[in-house]
Structure 1
């Protein structure tokens, strides 16, 4: 499934919902979008509908978290989906 990035804005918050698979190019696109915002609004990224995250994209997300203070939501859902998939494949 291709990556879909949905952006919603309010006076105090910018939120992004990521769906599908996130590869390096997708993460770099998100980084460019986030970096172009010059406001002081908080930024939240919802990963609950993410199906796959490669290691290079994960490094970009980590950089966004540490350098830009981006908050991530829905990581529990993504992690549980990954565990469920691994269990199905194992047996």
Structure 2
């Protein structure tokens, strides 16, 4: 999925400021799935899995910044995937 509209982190969205590109976010609709913020698509935010995969659209009302522990787990998972040779 391509992301046609990208806003900077100082712009406001329906739920406050738009996160910076690459910020780790948690989609609470999918059992607190952690992904990277990739941009704005209409009324939704594009989120990409940390260890690679297809982006998905998430309603900003269900997305929150990752906690320090969630960021640590996501970065560890990314490092493990990279060491296995997975495509990220």
TM-score (norm. length: structure 1)? 0.28
Larger Rg: 1
Q: Which has the higher helix share?
A: 1
TM-score (norm. length: structure 2)? 0.29
